[in-house]
């Protein structure tokens, strides 16, 4: 069986950043396994700009952003296998993979970093009634067809869901000459970034209908029309509010799901809220030596934060291989999400393993105006920062300092909570 110190599952933005960081941290025995025919992951089809403002302080397109990491990984001589699907990961970190040249093969990994990304919620999971014709695509599938294959799915478009890919595709389809008639969003707020609503919808006069959903799909072979209705607070359609839109394309941008089939099969504990692994401060999952970062851990809105997170996962995997990421210190502190905070990543902190500062990322459950983000060490409020607006579509963060925590040896829990005052 082949052996590698660090096996990285996925060569998208998370996998690349993790590999580069592990290499720079001194490990020379890394392998990236990528299922597609090139590195870069989903960034390859994201030809719009807006990537890299945090990481490179400039605006790049998706392929440019990926290109910088690919170049670096290649310059560092990090090995990778393309067109290679990982079929299984065992508890003791044996990775089973398959490709055309080598067939099915096993690799014993010292550490594994999960970087499989996420996938889109399909029509079937949304329980939209009606026919099941051609012309219904998840926004990402349409993005691939338009940007990578060079084909337009149609000319008259309705979009359900206001996730970022849907918003980007509203603009992309418009630029290609299609008419985007409406974007309907079930929730009373958009799940996408504010900047995307402004730049992709408002700038093109595309209406966004909040608290609306598709209640019927017409067309037996190809979609011909959809009916959209307003929904009440129970998210059920309000009779009498139906509006019919003729269209030949329905795009769905109704949420992303971390792709954790392999993690589940390995027995890794998965959060019911993020659908990603539950991790500690080192981004290590419930199985020692298996780390997770990027969209497989929790869905990000900015790739810059994926890269930053993956960099930490890469460093920590090296530490694990070196035997420096001990589990013997005990005294783990649990991180609690309360009062409008849906979750935190990580879920636990070991003061002994923690670095000098730790960024904790979270999402809020609703739109909150003029609220404070408060952090409690036990019952003591230690942070209290006012935010004008917070929305579920934009990831939030707090920073914890090791010094503050080690001052309190018996500390059992840290709570992140939104407060009115």
| Distance between CA atoms of residues 104 and 96, nearest Å | 7
Provide the minimum distance between the beta carbon of 128 and other proteins in the complex, in angstroms, as a whole number: 9
Q: Which of 77, 103, 409, 410 binds other proteins (CB under 8 A)?
A: 103
Of residues 320 through 379, those in contact with other proteins by CB under 8 A are none
Is the CB of 91 or the CB of 132 nearer to other proteins? 132
CA distance 394 to 363: 7
Stated length of the chain: 421
Phi, psi of 387 (to 5 degrees): -125, 130
CB of 268 to other proteins, least distance (A): 15
Residue of 77, 150, 240, 409 that binds other proteins (CB under 8 A): 150
Whole-angstrom distance between the N-terminal and C-terminal Cα of the chain?
Answer: 59
146 vs 228 by CB, closer to other proteins: 146
For 323, the token pair is 């035997």
Cβ proximity to other proteins: between 123 and 319 the closer is 123
The answer to whether 87 contacts other proteins (rule: CB under 8 A) is yes
Contacts with 205 (C-beta within 8 Å, 6 or more apart), sequence order: none
Geometric angle at alpha carbon 126, from 182 and 130, rounded to 5°: 75
The single residue among 91, 132, 329, 407 that binds other proteins, judged by CB under 8 A, is 132
Pick out residues in 234-253 that bind other proteins (CB under 8 A).
Answer: 237, 248
Of 1, 57, 77, 149, the one binding other proteins (CB under 8 A) is 149
Closer Cβ to other proteins, 266 or 317, answer by number: 266
Which span (119-127, 158-166, 179-187, 305-313) binds other proteins, by CB under 8 A? 119-127
Contact with other proteins (CB under 8 A) among 57, 77, 124, 356? 124
> Residue 55 CB, nearest distance to other proteins (Å)?
27
Buried b (16+ CB within 10 A) or exposed e, 24-57: ebebeebbbbbbbeebbbbbbbbbbebbbeebee
276: left (phi over 0), alpha (psi -120 to 50) or beta: beta
Instruction: List strands edge to edge, sheet with 396-401.
Output: 341-345, 357-364, 396-401
Q: Is 48 in the site for other proteins (CB under 8 A)?
A: no
Cis amide prior to 140 (ω within 30 degrees): no
Question: Considering CB under 8 A, how many residues would be counted as binding other proteins?
Answer: 52
Toward other proteins, which CB reaches closer, 67 or 122?
A: 122
Q: Whole-angstrom Cα distance, residue 86 to residue 76?
A: 24
Binding of other proteins at residue 99 (CB under 8 A)? yes
Q: Which stretch binds other proteins (CB under 8 A): 57-65, 121-129, 198-206, 279-287?
A: 121-129
61 three-class SS: strand
Residue 71 has which token pair?
């170049």
Interface residue with other proteins among 50, 140, 161, 314 (CB under 8 A) is 140
Which residues of the chain form contacts with other proteins (CB under 8 A)?
A: 35, 83, 85, 87, 98-104, 119-120, 122-125, 127, 129-135, 137-138, 140-141, 144-146, 148-155, 176-177, 215-218, 220-222, 237, 248, 261
């Amino acid at each position: 069986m082949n052996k590698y110190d660090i096996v990285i599952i996925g060569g998208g933005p998370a996998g690349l950043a993790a590999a580069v960081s592990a290499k720079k941290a001194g490990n020379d025995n890394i392998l990236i396994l990528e299922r597609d025919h090139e590195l870069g992951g989903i960034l390859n089809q994201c030809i719009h700009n807006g990537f890299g403002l945090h990481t490179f302080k400039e605006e790049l397109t998706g392929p440019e952003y990926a290109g910088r990491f690919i170049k670096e990984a290649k310059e560092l001589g990090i090995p990778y296998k393309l067109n290679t699907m990982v079929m299984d990961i065992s508890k003791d970190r044996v990775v089973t993979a398959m490709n055309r040249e080598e067939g099915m093969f096993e690799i014993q990994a010292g550490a594994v970093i999960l970087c499989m990304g996420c996938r889109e919620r399909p029509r079937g999971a949304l329980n939209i009634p009606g026919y099941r014709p051609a012309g219904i695509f998840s926004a990402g599938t349409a993005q691939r067809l338009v940007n990578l294959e060079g084909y337009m799915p149609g000319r008259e478009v309705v979009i359900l869901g206001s996730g970022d890919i849907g918003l980007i595709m509203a603009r992309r389809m418009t630029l290609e000459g299609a008419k985007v008639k409406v974007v309907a969003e079930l929730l009373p707020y958009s799940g996408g970034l504010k900047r995307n609503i402004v730049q992709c919808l408002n700038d093109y006069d595309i209406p966004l209908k909040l608290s609306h959903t598709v209640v019927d799909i017409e067309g037996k072979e190809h979609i011909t029309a959809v009916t959209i209705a307003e929904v009440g607070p129970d998210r059920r359609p309000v009779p009498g509010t139906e509006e019919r839109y003729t269209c030949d394309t329905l795009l769905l941008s109704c949420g992303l799901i971390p792709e954790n089939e392999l993690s589940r099969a390995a027995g890794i504990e998965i959060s019911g809220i993020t659908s990603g692994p539950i991790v500690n401060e080192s981004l290590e999952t419930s199985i020692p030596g298996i780390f997770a970062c990027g969209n497989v851990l929790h869905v990000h809105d900015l790739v810059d934060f994926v890269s930053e997170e993956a960099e930490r996962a890469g460093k920590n995997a090296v530490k694990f291989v070196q035997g420096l990421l001990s589990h013997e210190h005990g005294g783990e502190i649990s991180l609690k999400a309360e009062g409008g905070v849906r979750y935190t990543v990580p879920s636990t902190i070991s003061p002994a393993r923690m670095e000098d500062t730790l960024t904790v990322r979270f999402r809020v459950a609703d739109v909150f105006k003029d609220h404070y983000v408060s952090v409690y060490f036990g019952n003591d409020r230690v942070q209290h920062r006012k935010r004008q607006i917070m929305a579920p579509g934009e990831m939030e963060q707090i920073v914890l300092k090791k010094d503050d925590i080690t001052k309190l040896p018996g500390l059992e829990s840290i709570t992140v909570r939104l407060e009115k005052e």
